[in-house]
Amino acid sequence: MLALQGAVDKHIQMLSKLNIPCLAVKHREELGRIDAIIIPGGESTTIGKLLIRFSLFDPLSNLIAHGLPVFGTCAGLILLAKKITGFDQPSFKLLDITVARNAYGPQIESFEADISIPHLGEKAFRAVFIRAPIITEIAAHTEVLAGFEGNPVLIRQGNILASSFHPELTNDERIHRYFAHNLVGEHLKELAYKKN
Ligand code: GLN
């Protein structure tokens, strides 16, 4: 769990509910001790600056580029995006999407909506959007797991999972479980296979 700024605690609570051990990463050395990382919501410009200041930006970018599973929520999604419309700010540029920040309109700071995520069963997921970005462009190889009003809001590209909403702010842990079972599970299996 990247813990430089933003909505960290609720993610940690959700992981502990799922019995998934978690480390709050603030220093470069800690990157050697993780099997996956969550980049939380918050302020993407601030998190980006702090990543650089704490010498985490390049090593983390390298790890993700080489397969470390990552789940970016809201600002975390922005930090993974290849293109950010109208802003010159650091991002890993590993997720083939274009995002527009705060794009649901400044007057609607936040809202909730029921979205359908077919991979996670029939029950709708209550998605909490807080000054959320809109994904305006997406590459063909990036899978859309859920959409809202015609835009993707939950997507997967290989080892990268990203949501424009805050899945940690509900009691529904299905997306965190999906991340752990699928992306992290696949990664650990591959590592074990390479070792043998
Ligand atoms: N508006 C924030 C940004 O652009 C993201 C908001 C959030 O993470 N909830 O970085």
Sheet containing 37-39: give its strands across.
37-39, 70-73, 160-163, 151-157, 143-148
Catalytic member of 29, 109, 137, 168? 168
Alpha carbon distances (Å) from 194 to 66, 188, 189:
14, 10, 9
Least Cα distance to 106 among 133, 85, 144 occurs for 133
pTM above 0.95, yes or no: yes
User: How confident is the model at residue 107, as a pLDDT?
Assistant: 59
What's the rounded Cα separation, in Å, for the pair 194 and 196? 6
Q: Has 74 been annotated as catalytic?
A: yes
Which amino acid, residue 76? G
Of all atoms in ligand 1, which is nearest to the CA of residue 74? 8
- Please report the pLDDT score of residue 106 as a whole number: 67
109 catalytic per annotation? no
- What pLDDT sits at residue 195? 84
CA distance 172 to 168: 8
What is the spatial distance between Cα 164 and Cα 161, in angstroms, rounded to a whole number? 11
For each of the domains in the chain, give its residue range(s) and CATH number, in order of start.
8-195 (3.40.50.880)
Can you give the pLDDT at residue 196? 81
> What's the Cα-to-Cα distance from 134 to each of 27, 137, 195, rounded to whole Å?
30, 9, 40
Rounded average pLDDT per 10-residue block, the chain, 196 residues:
96 97 97 97 98 98 98 98 96 98 81 97 97 97 97 98 98 98 96 88
Is residue 5 lining ligand 1, measured as CB closer than 6 Å? Answer: no
Does residue 186 have an active-site annotation?
no
The backbone region for 93, taken as left when phi is positive above 0, alpha when psi lies in -120 to 50, beta otherwise, is left
Q: Which of 102, 110, 135 to mutate to test the pocket of ligand 1 (most atoms within 8 A of CB)?
A: 102
